[in-house]
Structure 1
Amino acid sequence: MTYRFITFLILIIYTGTANAQSDTLWFDNKWVETSKEKAAFYRPPAKKKGSLYRIKDYYIDGSLQMAGLSKYPDSTHFEGKAIWYKKDGSKFQELSFKSNQLEGVCTYYYNEQSFRRTPREETYKDGILTKVVYWDKDKDGIRFEKYYENGEHIKSVYFNAKGTEIGSYDFSGSRSKNGVIVDYYSNPMQIEEIKVLKNGYELYSNSFYHNGQTRSVFDTIQLKETFFDDKGHEIGKLQYSGTLDHLKYEDGKRIEFDSDGISFKRVIEYKDGVQTRIKKFTKGQLTRDEFYKNNKSYKIVSYDQEGKQIGSFQQINEKPHGTLLKNNGDIVTYDNGILVKAIKHYYKSKAKFCVLENSTLTYYDLSGNILGSLVIKVAQDSYYPERLESGGYSTTPIEGTLFEKDYQNRIVLKALFEKGVKTQEITFDCVKESSQEAVKCFQKTEIYNEKEQLVKQITYFSNGHKRSEITYKPGSGKRAGLFFDETGQQISEYDYSTKTGTEYKYFDNSDLIKEISQRENGVFVKQKIYQKIYDKQFSQKIVLREEIDFNGEAEFYSKQGELIAKATFVEGKATGSVYEYKSHRKVEVNNGVKNGNYIQFERDEKTIKEKGYYLNDEKHGTFTIYRDGIKKKEESYEAGDKEGYFINYDKKGNEISRLLYKNNKPYEGKEIQKGGIQYKEKVYKAGKLISIVKLLEKHKIETLFSSHNTSKTTIYDNKNQKLLSYHKTDNQLDGEVIYYQKNKPKYTALITDGVLNEGDVFVKPDGYYKEEMYSKLSKKDNILAIETYNKKGELLYNASINLNLYATNENNIIRYKLRISQRISELKLYLEE
Structure 2
Amino acid sequence: MKFQNIILRNTNLFLFVFLNLVNLVVHAQQDTLYYNNNWKLTVKDSAAYFRPPVQKQGSLYKIEDYYSSGQLQMRGMSTKSDNNLWQGEVTWYNEDGSVLQQATYNNGKLEGKYISYLNDKRLEAVFKNGRIISGKTNGKWLKNRRYYQEVRGDTVVNIIYENDINGARFERYSLGSHRDKLVKYYDHHGKFIGQRELLHKGNFRGLEVFYYETPMRPMQIIYYPNGKRLGSTFFYCNNQVREQFNMENELSKTYFSPDGKKIGKIEYSLKNDVLRAANGRKITFFSNYNKDKTELIRSIREYSNSKLKKDEQFYENQNLKSKTIYTDGKKELQISYNEAGQEIARMVYNNWNPVEGTEIIGNGSKTYKDGKLVKELNYYQDTNLIFSRKTSDLEIYYNKNGEELGRLILKDDNGYQKPTDGYRYFIDREGDIRSEELYSNGYRVSITSYYSRRVAENVTKKFKTIELTEPDSFKKNREQRFYSNGVMQSDIKFSGYTETLGTFYNKQGEKIGEYDYKAKDGKLFVFFRNSDQLKSKAVFKNGKQLSLKRYDYGIQSKYGEINPVLVEDIDITCCAKFYTRNGELIAEAIYKDGKPWEGQIYDPQIRTKYTIAKGVRHGAYKKYDYNHNVLESGNFVEDKADGLFTYYDYSGNILKKETYKNGLLEGLASYYDKNGKLLSEMSYKADKPMDGTRIVQLTFNGVETNQTFANGELVQSIYSDDKGKRLAFYENGTQVKGIAYYGDTNNKRFSYRLKGRNLHGEVVRYNKEGKAEYKAVFDDGKLKEGGVLLNANGIKGKPEYMILERDLGTVKVRLMGQNNKVLLKAEEVLTFGTATVFIQNLNIYINNIKPEDLY
CA contact under 8 A between 1:573 and 1:591: conserved in structure 2? Answer: no
Between the aligned partners of 1:180 and 1:458, the Cα distance in structure 2 is 48
Which residues of 2 match residues 448-597 of structure 1 at below 5 A?
Answer: 448-473=470-495, 475=496, 477-534=498-555, 537=558, 540-575=562-597, 576-597=599-620
CA contact under 8 A between 2:453 and 2:461: conserved in structure 1? Answer: yes
Note the alpha carbon deviations across 1:758-781, whole angstroms, 9 max, x for none: 66655444522322613435364x
The alpha-carbon distance between structure 1 residues 697 and 297, as it changes in their structure 2 partners (threshold 3 A), is: closer
- Paired position in structure 2 for 1:768: 795
Which residues of 2 match residues 140-539 of structure 1 at below 5 A?
Answer: 147-150=194-197, 154=207, 171=223, 173=225, 183-185=235-237, 189=238, 191=240, 193=242, 195=244, 197=246, 199=249, 201-202=251-252, 205-208=255-258, 260=293, 280-284=313-317, 285-288=319-322, 300-305=334-339, 310-314=344-348, 323-357=357-391, 359-377=393-411, 395-446=417-468, 448-473=470-495, 475=496, 477-534=498-555, 537=558
Which residues of 2 match residues 9-88 of structure 1 at below 5 A?
Answer: 45-46=75-76, 53=89, 55-56=91-92, 67-72=100-105, 75=108, 77=110, 80-81=116-117
The alpha-carbon distance between structure 1 residues 480 and 292, as it changes in their structure 2 partners (threshold 3 A), is: closer
Q: Which has the higher contact order (CA 8 A, sep 6+)?
A: 2
The alpha-carbon distance between structure 1 residues 655 and 340, as it changes in their structure 2 partners (threshold 3 A), is: same
Q: CA deviation at 1:343?
A: 0.4
Counterpart pick for 1:107 among 156, 162, 172:
162
The AA in structure 1 aligned to 2:92 is: K
Which stretch shows the higher mean deviation, 412-421 or 307-316? 307-316
CA contact under 8 A between 1:773 and 1:790: conserved in structure 2? Answer: yes
- Paired position in structure 1 for 2:171: 124
CA contact under 8 A between 1:748 and 1:761: conserved in structure 2? Answer: yes
Between the aligned partners of 1:689 and 1:771, the Cα distance in structure 2 is 37
Between the aligned partners of 1:464 and 1:179, the Cα distance in structure 2 is 50
The alpha-carbon distance between structure 1 residues 642 and 731, as it changes in their structure 2 partners (threshold 3 A), is: farther
Q: CA deviation at 1:728?
A: 3.6
The alpha-carbon distance between structure 1 residues 678 and 370, as it changes in their structure 2 partners (threshold 3 A), is: closer
Q: CA deviation at 1:568?
A: 1.6
Q: CA deviation at 1:372?
A: 1.0
Note the alpha carbon deviations across 1:515-574, whole angstroms, 9 max, x for none: 111101110011111122456957653221111112211111111111101112222311
Counterpart pick for 1:666 among 685, 689, 693:
689
Between the aligned partners of 1:476 and 1:502, the Cα distance in structure 2 is 21
Between the aligned partners of 1:204 and 1:502, the Cα distance in structure 2 is 66
The AA in structure 1 aligned to 2:688 is: K
Note the alpha carbon deviations across 1:167-200, whole angstroms, 9 max, x for none: 998946279x999966324xxx474847585646
Between the aligned partners of 2:211 and 2:497, the Cα distance in structure 1 is 64
Which residues of 2 match residues 766-805 of structure 1 at below 5 A?
Answer: 766-769=793-796, 770-771=798-799, 773-778=801-806, 780=808, 783=809, 785-791=811-817, 792=820, 794=822, 796-802=825-831
CA contact under 8 A between 2:795 and 2:843: conserved in structure 1? Answer: no
Between the aligned partners of 2:303 and 2:730, the Cα distance in structure 1 is 73
CA contact under 8 A between 2:226 and 2:800: conserved in structure 1? Answer: no
Between the aligned partners of 2:702 and 2:296, the Cα distance in structure 1 is 52
Between the aligned partners of 1:647 and 1:734, the Cα distance in structure 2 is 36
Q: CA deviation at 1:624?
A: 0.7
- Paired position in structure 2 for 1:654: 677
The AA in structure 2 aligned to 1:336 is: D
The AA in structure 2 aligned to 1:688 is: E
Q: CA deviation at 1:347?
A: 1.7
**Unaligned regions of 5+ residues in structure 2, if any?**
1-6, 42-49, 55-62, 67-72, 78-87, 118-137, 175-179, 199-203, 266-277, 288-292
Between the aligned partners of 2:230 and 2:468, the Cα distance in structure 1 is 59
The AA in structure 1 aligned to 2:235 is: D
Q: CA deviation at 1:514?
A: 0.9
Report the identity percentage: 20
Helix, strand or coil for the counterpart of 1:72?
Answer: strand
Helix, strand or coil for the counterpart of 1:560?
Answer: coil
Helix, strand or coil for the counterpart of 1:326?
Answer: strand
When Rg is computed on C-alpha atoms for both structures, the one with the higher figure is 1
Between the aligned partners of 1:44 and 1:219, the Cα distance in structure 2 is 54
- Paired position in structure 2 for 1:689: 714
Between the aligned partners of 1:15 and 1:785, the Cα distance in structure 2 is 69
CA contact under 8 A between 1:596 and 1:614: conserved in structure 2? Answer: yes
Q: CA deviation at 1:787?
A: 3.1
- Paired position in structure 2 for 1:211: none
Helix, strand or coil for the counterpart of 1:827?
Answer: helix
The AA in structure 1 aligned to 2:363 is: G
Equivalent pairs counted in the alignment come to 734
The alpha-carbon distance between structure 1 residues 726 and 28, as it changes in their structure 2 partners (threshold 3 A), is: same
Note the alpha carbon deviations across 1:569-622, whole angstroms, 9 max, x for none: 2223112211111221111123442221100112211x2111001123221111
The alpha-carbon distance between structure 1 residues 338 and 433, as it changes in their structure 2 partners (threshold 3 A), is: same
Q: CA deviation at 1:364?
A: 0.4
- Paired position in structure 1 for 2:752: 726
Counterpart pick for 2:646 among 619, 624, 634:
624
Between the aligned partners of 1:692 and 1:444, the Cα distance in structure 2 is 58
The alpha-carbon distance between structure 1 residues 796 and 24, as it changes in their structure 2 partners (threshold 3 A), is: farther
Between the aligned partners of 1:703 and 1:402, the Cα distance in structure 2 is 65
Helix, strand or coil for the counterpart of 2:852?
Answer: helix
Between the aligned partners of 1:131 and 1:418, the Cα distance in structure 2 is 62
CA contact under 8 A between 2:504 and 2:511: conserved in structure 1? Answer: yes
CA contact under 8 A between 1:738 and 1:747: conserved in structure 2? Answer: yes
